[in-house]
């Protein structure tokens, strides 16, 4: 485990430096890529497919490509117009599945309305599903088998374990509450925390007495998609708070990114808390690179590097 990444901002309320941890992870992955190239003469390859011209998706895809190349992996981006049919996209995925040079396939979401995200994800070879969304990878996580884990929950767990380490603590035995029940974050996050011997509750917007449920949490993960939905008085003293939300709001006529947690209200209660931005977000892309290396090793029957 690397050295903890925290900034002391007050007597209480340490900020978890997700951007710093993500950089450290990328640096370690770059060493793994160099070692794999030297040992086997092969380079991990990630292909990202984007359909349409959604501005936020374009930014994410560009960043993924740049960081993939920065650690020495091969990066390909396939851009398709929003007039592409679902059958055409499925045919492309089939070609990528059969291409032995391609180790990771990521189809950027959201897709145009005439396409089924579930059908598209299901078409990806689960061994190349570096997003970890395929039902086979979800099933492996649910029963404790080694598969590819969704990037955001994986990065969140890394930050939680690092925060606990920084305080001489462990996650085992803690009461964890996840607000949000999506297949992308909430459900896999619950499985990961169960694997750390936490007692886990999945809550959501319709949970009865949600504020009281949150106040009982030693670990609080917010993934509900509502800006500042969780207020400071919902946070237990000395809780670990992971804010997965990324919401754009207007403040004085200018756009601002905020999380699902009211950061200013929660930081003085929390023992450790992720900010938005520069918290969980950078870890998502770093874990995508991590998953691509793991997929590359598994496909080629190479030992997976320690820590990947």
Q: Can you spell out the DSSP letters for the chain? A: -PPP-EE--SSS-EEE-HHHHHHHHHHHHHHHHHHHHHHHS---EEEEEEES--HHHHHHHHHHHHHHHHTT-EEEEEEE-TT--HHHHHHHHHHHHH-TT--EEEEPSSPPTTS-HHHHHHHS-GGGBTT--SHHHHHHHHHT---PPPHHHHHHHHHHHHHHHHTT--STT-EEEEE---TTTHHHHHHHHHHTT-EEEEE-TT-TTHHHHHHT-SEEEE-S--TT-B-GGGSPTT-EEEE---EEEEETTEEEEE-SB-HHHHTTT-SEE--SSSSHHHHHHHHHHHHHHHHHHHHHTPPPPTT-
Candidates 17, 108, 236, 262; catalytic one: 108
Q: How far apart are CA 147 and CA 138, in angstroms?
A: 8
pLDDT tens, 35-70?
999 999 999 999 999 999 988 899 889 999 999 999
| Token output for 49 | 């497919």
Q: 70 CB contacts (<8 Å, ≥6 apart)?
A: 26, 30
For 174, list phi and psi in degrees, rounded to 5.
Answer: -80, 155
Mean pLDDT for the stretch of residues 116-141 = 97
Query: Is the model's pTM score more than 0.75?
Result: yes
What confidence score (pLDDT) does residue 55 get? 87
Mean pLDDT for the stretch of residues 100-114 = 96
The mean pLDDT value of the chain amounts to 94
Q: How far apart are CA 273 and CA 298, in angstroms?
A: 34
Taking CA atoms, 66 is separated from 126, 133, 160, in Å, by: 24, 23, 27
Between these two residues, 171 and 9, which has the higher pLDDT value? 171
Mean pLDDT for the stretch of residues 287-301 = 97
Q: Which residue is listed with tokens 């977000």?
A: 281
What confidence category does residue 13 fall into, taking pLDDT thresholds of 50, 70 and 90?
A: very low
Q: How far apart are CA 72 and CA 91, in angstroms?
A: 29
For helices 186-195 and 151-166, the axis angle rounded to 10 degrees is: 40
For helices 280-300 and 55-70, the axis angle rounded to 10 degrees is: 60
Lowest mean pLDDT: which of 13-17, 151-155, 288-292? 13-17
23 is catalytic: no
Pairing of strands 199-203, 104-107: unpaired
Candidates 17, 64, 218, 294; catalytic one: 64
pLDDT tens, 192-238?
999 999 999 999 989 999 999 999 999 999 999 999 999 999 999 99
94 is catalytic: no
Mean pLDDT for the stretch of residues 167-190 = 97
Q: How far apart are CA 144 and CA 155, in angstroms?
A: 18
131 is catalytic: yes
Candidates 17, 127, 129, 131; catalytic one: 131
What confidence score (pLDDT) does residue 253 get? 81
Pairing of strands 175-179, 104-107: unpaired
What confidence score (pLDDT) does residue 2 get? 47
Question: Do 249 and 270 touch, CB atoms closer than 8 A?
Answer: no
Q: How far apart are CA 73 and CA 135, in angstroms?
A: 27
| Cα-trace Rg, the chain | 19
Mean pLDDT for the stretch of residues 3-11 = 47
pLDDT exceeds 90 at position 250: no
Q: In residues, how long is the chain?
A: 308
Taking CA atoms, 39 is separated from 9, 26, 42, 290, in Å, by: 44, 20, 8, 18
Question: Considering all CA atoms of the chain, what is the largest pairwise distance in Å, rounded to the nearest integer?
Answer: 57
pLDDT exceeds 50 at position 306: yes
What confidence score (pLDDT) does residue 135 get? 97
pLDDT exceeds 90 at position 184: yes
């Amino acid at each position: 485990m690397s050295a903890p990444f925290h900034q002391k901002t007050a007597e209480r309320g340490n900020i978890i430096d997700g951007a710093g941890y993500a950089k450290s992870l990328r640096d370690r992955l770059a060493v793994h890529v160099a070692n794999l190239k030297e040992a086997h003469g092969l380079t991990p390859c990630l292909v990202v497919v984007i359909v349409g011209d959604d501005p936020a998706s374009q930014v994410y895809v560009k960043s993924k490509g740049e960081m993939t190349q920065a650690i020495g992996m091969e990066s390909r981006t396939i851009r398709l117009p929003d007039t592409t049919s679902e059958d055409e996209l499925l045919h492309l995925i089939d070609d990528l599945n059969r291409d032995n040079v391609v180790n990771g396939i990521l189809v950027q979401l959201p897709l145009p309305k005439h396409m089924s995200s579930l059908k598209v994800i299901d078409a990806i070879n689960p061994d190349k599903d570096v997003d970890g969304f395929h039902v086979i990878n979800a099933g492996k996580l649910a029963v404790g088998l080694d598969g590819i884990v969704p990037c955001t929950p994986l990065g969140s767990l890394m930050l939680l374990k690092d925060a606990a380490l920084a305080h001489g603590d462990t996650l085992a035995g803690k009461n964890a509450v996840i607000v949000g029940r999506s297949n992308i974050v909430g459900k896999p996050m619950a499985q990961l925390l169960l694997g750390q011997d936490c007692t886990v509750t999945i809550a959501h917007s319709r949970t009865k007495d949600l504020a009281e449920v949150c106040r009982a949490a030693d670990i609080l993960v917010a993934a509900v998609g509502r800006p500042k939905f969780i207020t400071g008085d919902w946070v237990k003293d000395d809780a670990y708070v992971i804010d997965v939300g990324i919401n754009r709001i207007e403040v004085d006529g200018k756009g601002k990114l905020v999380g699902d947690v009211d950061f200013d209200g929660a930081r003085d209660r929390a023992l450790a808390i992720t900010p938005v931005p520069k918290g969980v977000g950078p870890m998502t892309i770093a874990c995508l690179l991590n998953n691509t290396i793991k997929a590359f090793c598994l496909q080629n029957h190479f030992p997976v590097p320690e820590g990947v």
